[in-house]
Amino acid sequence: MDNFEDIFKSIPSNITTKDQKEHILNILDEFIQQTYKAEKEFNDLKEVFSLVLESIPNPIWVINDDNSYFYYNSYAKKIDDILKIYPQESNECEILFDKEYYLMQRSKKNNKTLITATNITNEKRKERLASMGQVSAHLAHEIRNPIGAIALMLSSLSKNIDSKHSIYILEMKKALWRVERLINTTLLFCKGVKAASLRHNSSIIKSSIEDSIAYFEYSKNIDFIYDIQEKSILCDLELLELLLQNLISNAIDAIEEHEGVDQGIIKIEFFIKENYQILKIYDNGVLAGDIDNLFEAFKTTKIKGNGLGLAFCKQIAEAHNGSISYNDIGDKYFIVSLGL
């Protein structure tokens, strides 16, 4: 028999004989068998349906007319509260939820509503960086011209000023150096960092830090300790200098902000381990805040700073086929690995 309706039509209205009873039992048995078969096919189909939806790396909800869930995948479960802020009247919109951007889309078929959420955080970030890159390039061009003129005038002025007032010239030079470093960091970060690595003596690490220390401002006594293996280092020298400047600046700020520290310590280590060149920068300043977003651009808990320094350091490390991480258990330090 082809279907359940045919099965029941075949049952006689009056059952009187044994053969009729057996016939009915056979019909009911077939009905049960087909029911089991249909249920199995439905469960198999449901399982395939679930596997397909779980394989899609986006949150998906299927909602009944009474707002109960017909289905949702594991990705949807993680951000289920986003539906509370998704406007009912909107079929498509962007929503910021839990520090991530999502493109929400809704469609309806019969008595079911399908809702999907696509994480577009990276796309939004690229858009912001592209816009910022255009603005930064324009500002850099406009700022560098007067900076160059000021630097030239300061150089001339320093030759004709008495030693009592030379400290003012030095402070202005420090300020110009910091502006130039900020411009370089912003431009390189927006364009994307690419490393042109060459071999250098590892002594450049110490000399680069000592050159930049003269331009940093800090009020506390700070001891700079170096433990640098006599090795060659494979790196893009300009990028390495910017990385060191940002990490040393971060360490100095941490010491300055620590009210319980009068004597600052910054220790710089360099060594080779397996297939990586390791830089380790230790300081005894305050612990970093907001660890989850430590290397995210424009997110900073510092009183001063633009939130680009550590994000830029991450870019530099990754451009050298390496990584950067932060440790605050026991000793506090940043560790940077650069690929060989």
Q: What is the pLDDT of residues 168-222, one digit of tens each?
A: 887 788 788 877 777 777 777 777 788 899 999 999 999 999 988 888 888 999 9
What is the arithmetic mean of pLDDT over 145-159? Answer: 79
* pTM (whole model) above 0.85: no
Question: CA-CA distance, 269 to 278, in Å (whole number)?
Answer: 8
Q: How far lies 288's CA from each of 10, 253, 295, 327, in Å?
A: 80, 11, 11, 9
Contact call for residues 65 and 114 (beta carbons, < 8 A)? no
pLDDT of residue 301: 58
Kindly give the pairing relationship between strand 221-228 and strand 263-273.
parallel
pLDDT of residue 223: 95
Read off the tokens for 91: 């079929």
Secondary structure E strands in the chain: 60-64, 69-72, 92-97, 100-109, 112-119, 198-201, 221-228, 232-235, 263-273, 276-283, 323-327, 333-339
Q: For residue 225, list its beta bridge partners.
A: 267
Q: For residue 94, list its beta bridge partners.
A: 103
Quickly state the pLDDT bin for 330 (edges 50, 70, 90): confident
pLDDT of residue 5: 56
Q: What is the pLDDT of residues 265-314, one digit of tens each?
A: 999 999 999 889 999 999 999 998 778 778 877 666 555 555 678 888 99
Residue predicted with more confidence, 287 or 54: 287
What is the arithmetic mean of pLDDT over 44-62? Answer: 76
Backbone angles phi, psi at 59, to 5 degrees: -65, 135
pLDDT of residue 9: 56
Read off the tokens for 89: 């009247």
Question: CA-CA distance, 140 to 189, in Å (whole number)?
Answer: 13
Strand ordering across the sheet containing 221-228: 221-228, 263-273, 276-283, 333-339, 323-327
Sign of the alpha-carbon torsion through 36, 41, 45, 50: positive
